[in-house]
Every structure is written in C-alpha cells, then in structure tokens.
A = this chain, B = another copy of it.
Amino acid sequence: MKTSNDYRKRLAAMRPNIYMGGKPVGRDHPAFQPGINTLALTFDLVDSPEYSEVLTAKSHLTGEKINRFTHIHQSADDLLKKQELTRCLCLKSGRCIQRCMGIDAMNALSVVTREMDDALGTEYHRRFLDYLRFFQESDLVGNAAQTDVKGDRSLRPHQQADPDLYLRVVEKRPEGIVVRGAKAHNSIAAYADELLVIPTRALTPEEEEWAVAFAIPADAPGIKLISVPHTHRQRKVIKAPVEEYGTMHAFTVFDDVFVPWERVFMCGEAKFAGRLAALFATYHRHSYTGCKPAMSDIFTGATALVAEYNGIGKASHVRDKLADLVAVGELVYAAGIAAGVKGSRSSSGTYIPDVIYTNVGRYHAEVNIYHEYETLADIAGGLAATLPMEEDFYNPETRPYLEKYIMRKADVPAEYQHRCYRLIENLICSSTGAAAQISGIHGGGSPVMEKIAIMGRYDLEARKRVAKYLAGIPGGEDGENGGLS
C-alpha cells in the first residue's frame, strides 16, 4: 500500500490542466488542500488499530493486503465493511470521504465487463483485471465521471441539437479511441489520479457511439478540469478539523481525448450501457448508506451540543427532534446493512448489494436532508446566521463585548460557545453547507432516480397477486406470500 505522501507526489507530477476563477491553477492551489487532506486520511489510517480492519482488505487477484478503496467486493461482509468504513472515515473528515466513487465504478466495471464478455465474446474483463492490478498496486484515487451534461432533458442523446451533450466516441483508431464531451459534478477530479468514465443512462441501439467506458489519467491530453470551490470563510485563530478537510467539484471537458484500447471497457455495446450506469449507481448509493448516517451523526451531535450549551439539552422538544435525526441516520444505515446481507454474487464473482434496499436507503437520506438542516437551524437559533466574523472576536475593541454576550451556560467558556456556533455556521450557513445540502439530494442520483430504480426492480406483480388473493379474484392463488420466499 502507498502513503499519502506518495499520493501527494503523484499529484505534484501531473500536467497542469485545471482552471478556476478565470485562470489556470496548479494542483498545489490552496483551494485543493482540504480535499487532498481528506483523501490523505484514507492512506494514513491503514495502520491505525481503530481503522485498519475496515480500511484494508485482501486482494482477490493477488492475495496481497490492499487498501479497501481499491478492493472488489467478494462477499456480503465486504459490503458491510465498506459501509462501516465509509461512516467511520466521514466522521473523521466531517464530510464526504470521496474515495468511494472510484472503487464503486471499479466494482461496477468488474461485473459488466464480465457480462459483456460472456454475452458477446469481447475481452473487456481481461483488460479490466489488468487495469485493476495496476490500480491496486499503485493504490490509486479514482474519480467516477458519469453524469453527462445532458442538454435538453426531453430529448434522448441522439436527438440533441449537439451530439456532444452526451460524451461519445468520435473516432476509432487501431491503437485506441477518441472521445468528446463533458462530465458534470465531478467530485475530486482535480486531485484524483484517474478518471473512470462510464455512461450516464440506458441507451438504444442507435446510440452506440455514446456507449463508452474507459479509464484515463486525470491529466491526459485534451482533458480540462474547470473546478468549482465552495469554501468556508478561512479561519485565522480557531483552527478546527471541520475546515482542514473539504471537497471540490469539477466540470470535466474531454476535448477529443485519446484512450488506448487497453483502457477501454465498453465501446458500442449500447445494450449494456444501462446496466453499467445502474450498477455504478447501486454501488454508489450503497456508499451513501455509510456516509449519510455519518452526516446525521454530525448533525445530531451538533444539535445536542448547541442545545446543551444553551441550557435546553434535556427539553422534551429537543429530545424529540434529536430522536428524529437519529431515526433518519439509522434507518439509512439499516437499509445499507440489509442491502449487504441480501446482496448477491455476479458472474464475475463480485458481490452486488441488493438494489431495493440500497435505493430505499439512499432515497430516505435524500428526502430528509433538508429537514436535517432545518432541525439544527431550529435548535441553534438565529445566531447560526448572524454570528459575527471571527476577526471581530479577536479585535480588542469588540472582543470583550462578543465574549460577554455570547455566553449561554455559565460554565462553558466563551471560546467553546464561539467554536460551537462557528461549526454550525460552517455546516448550515455557508456556501459549503449549501452545496452539501444540494449534493445531499442529488449525489448518486436524485430522488426520482431512486424511485425509478426501485420500481424497475420491485416485484409489483407479486403484490397485486396478494391483493387478488385476499379479494378472491382469480390469478391471486400464488400470491399468498408476496413472492418473498
């Protein structure tokens, strides 16, 4: 396994291809450091007694001990461990741990490359395994580049005014392919080693040119990353983990990018595009059943802490709202556990979490995210929005006033009260917090996508048969147990 230092060195060696704020910036730009620090945790904690069991795994390819973020799930237990790992690390970084997306894409590719080979006689799975070996040995950080920009949402890919609004193959050469398009909302792309590009949706037979999947270094020629910061106000004095870690998104342009065949994992198999898109979504939503409970933990903790500081920690309405926060987080986590326990093995040997449980878990997180913010805001009160700037707390002219008047419970020092509210400001009254709110609803697929996934897989006919059976309508005879056993 590699170290965070190795990872940082790799970044330092990359070709500059990032833009932000109207100019090119290097991967050493301060805005990226919180994100890089977050990824570094995934390297640094492999030997920690607390984390090593969940953070490492045994490669099924080589038998070597590897970072679990490069592991292909071989069992239900692997799925449970990855879910637990995600929750634990998110508590450490205070937000999205980010490295799940790459390995989620790798797991999806491991399944579908094999299924294509089985059905079509292609050789994608062999290529994939070669790449996986490299990925595991180098202990790489992968970005999953899935979401196309999609243009007019009422039109299919091949109906768009500009065919590039979904990323596509524009040329096939003997040694590889050339792709053009853009992928949106690419978390960590600016500090990832590799981009793992997969289709965004199911495709029809006339849409072969859009059926493409591949891996590519994030600084390959033709790739431009336009990065988007959402940052807290920089702290000057009261440093804290909440601002040491962070996330960045990028808008990733593929301006006629060449990909060698060895890195191409789908090219034209339109029929499998939807399968790959959905499988990545399933893995990634299962990751969310780990990270969203961590965010609920943080909101629960912050709500409980500010209530305590305000002297209302035992109030029944506070306990009631805390229980609601707990219920959200734990139901989501429970859904992830059930998805692992009820997971299944694919033809490649890779374990896949149950689609229904995964999606109801992610869905429940999405439809509650705004309410979690509301609860913390409700209990914290208006000061979350009107907390004076940190500098005013350290200006000798204003400091005595602010330290006097921020006091709540008399035995909690003013600085702790300040820190508590500064944390809450970071969480719910900052552009960072607002962006997290939005990614809370759209990350890994929007609520409507989870519903589509649920209804696509759910055995609705079995339930209709139950209703017919109870009503005495013919056709329900076999419906007694809902098709469950």
Q: Does any Cβ of B come within 8 Å of A466's Cβ?
A: yes
> How far apart are A480's CB and chain B's nearest CB, in angstroms?
5
Cβ of A21 under 8 Å from chain B: yes
Tell me whether B467 and A302 are in contact (CB under 8 A). Answer: yes
**Residue pair A471, B371 in contact (C-beta under 8 Å):** no
Q: How long is the Cα–Cα vector from A443 to B382 in the complex, in angstroms? A: 8
Q: How far is the CA of A386 from the CA of B125 in the complex (A)?
A: 34
A184 in contact with B382 (CB, 8 Å)? yes
CB of A218 within 8 Å of the partner chain: no
Residue of A462, A466, A468 ringed by the most chain B CB atoms within 10 A = A466
Give this chain's copy count: 4
Given A386-B185, A442-B382, is A298 in contact with B466 using a C-beta cutoff of 8 Å?
yes
Cβ-defined contact, A326 with B458, below 8 A: yes
Q: How far is the CA of A54 from the CA of B298 in the complex (A)?
A: 40
Interface 1/0 per residue, A164-189 and B, CB below 8 Å: 11000000000000000010110000
Count chain B CB atoms within 10 A of each CB in A320, A371, A437 and give the residue with the most. A437
Please determine whether B20 and A240 come into contact, CB atoms closer than 8 angstroms: no
Kindly provide the distance from the CB of A190 to the nearest chain B CB, expressed in whole angstroms.
Answer: 12
Q: Tell yes or no: A145 within 8 A of B by CB.
A: no
Q: Does A430 contact B (CB under 8 A)?
A: yes
Bound form: Cα–Cα A462–B305 in Å = 11
Q: Tell me if B481 and A391 are in contact (CB < 8 A).
A: no
Interface residue from B50, B337, B470 paired with A423 (Cβ < 8 Å): B470
Q: Is A193 an interface residue (CB 8 A)?
A: no
When A and B form their complex, which 8 residue pairs have the shortest distance between CB atoms, in order from nearest?
A22-B391, A240-B472, A301-B463, A301-B467, A334-B338, A154-B311, A423-B471, A161-B410
